[in-house]
Structure 1
Amino acid sequence: MNEQLAGALAAEEAAIYAYGTIGVHLTDDRELADARAAEAVHRDRRDALVTRLASAQVSPAPAPAGYALPFPVTDRDSALKLAIHVEDGVAQAWRPMLAVTTADERSTALGALTDAAVRATRWRRHADVTPLTLPFPGRP
């Protein structure tokens, strides 16, 4: 399970980094508010994962100083595309936790996966991307 926790932690850290880039290219107040809220959720989840790993006496790999983005982000459209990509990736990172957790832990993992899928849907709506939802969020 520690491997899956570390994967979720890495996804949350990458999301925090990406939202710094995403926010620079958004000008709509509602989109900016969504980006700030998403970053805050990812920071809270990251902090909870660090605490959980520490309580299990597991030292996760340190977060890199920077990340290579999957494509250039130069405007609103590419920023929204990155937000969708990030949230889909976070959902994928939390999905493996469902198979290796207890019922209480599974609830946390399912909540994180669901939250990411809902945020991805919100970003798709902002970007006028269809379909708005994926049939099985978190699947590669």
Structure 2
Amino acid sequence: MRKALAAEHAVLFAYGLLGARTSGRLRERITLAFDEHRAGRDQLRGYITARGGRPVEPDASYALPFFPSNATLAAKLAAHLENGVTAAYLELAAADEAALRRYAALAMQEAVRRSYLFRPDQPAAFPGMPVAAAVPSATPSAVQNGE
């Protein structure tokens, strides 16, 4: 749960920056994503404290993988953020407790939905899973020869 909570803290920081630097429809989507992540963060904090744990606190600042200079790059960063949140919840989806597994699955589903809203041209085949090394494609002749 702490990993997912840390991811929520990081994405809230980044969406705060993006919201201040965008406008129009993109800013509306970023604001909605920010609100949804804030609710997710609060719910995770509740789960952790209810189980006697101590929630991880947010850092003062987070490094971004790149700084967006236009709306296209801002949307790309937002999709990247959602993919990171999906990966963080993937671990929580293996929890022993059924309620936590369900919560994680729904959180991943929502993150993938948001990612697609920001980058509909690049849906991931297996959201949240690390990208495997490129597999060489078989040539048509190799397939015909049974190779």
TM tier relative to shorter chain:
0.7 to 0.9
Q: How many residues align?
A: 130
After superposition, residues 1-140 of structure 1 pair within 5 angstroms as: 5-28=1-24, 30-125=25-120, 130-131=121-122, 133-140=123-130
Gaps of 5+ in 1: none
Separation (CA, whole Å) in 1 of partners of 2:7 and 2:96: 18
Separation (CA, whole Å) in 2 of partners of 1:25 and 1:112: 26
Alpha-carbon shift at residue 77 of structure 1 (Å): 2.0
Separation (CA, whole Å) in 1 of partners of 2:96 and 2:8: 19
Gaps of 5+ in 2: 131-147
Separation (CA, whole Å) in 2 of partners of 1:52 and 1:104: 10
Moved over 4 A (4+): none
Identify which range, 18-27 or 79-88, moves more after superposition. Answer: 18-27
The percent identity for this pair of structures is 35
Separation (CA, whole Å) in 2 of partners of 1:27 and 1:45: 24
TM-score normalised according to structure 2 size: 0.82
Output the amino acid matched with 2:104: A
Identify which range, 53-62 or 91-100, moves more after superposition. Answer: 53-62
RMSD of aligned Cα (Å): 1.3
* Rg (Cα) greater in structure: 2
Alpha-carbon shift at residue 101 of structure 1 (Å): 3.4
Q: What does residue 144 of structure 2 align with?
A: none
Structure with greater helix percent: 1
Alpha-carbon shift at residue 61 of structure 1 (Å): 2.9
Given that residues 21 and 79 in structure 1 are in contact (C-alpha distance below 8 angstroms), is that contact kept between their aligned partners in structure 2? no
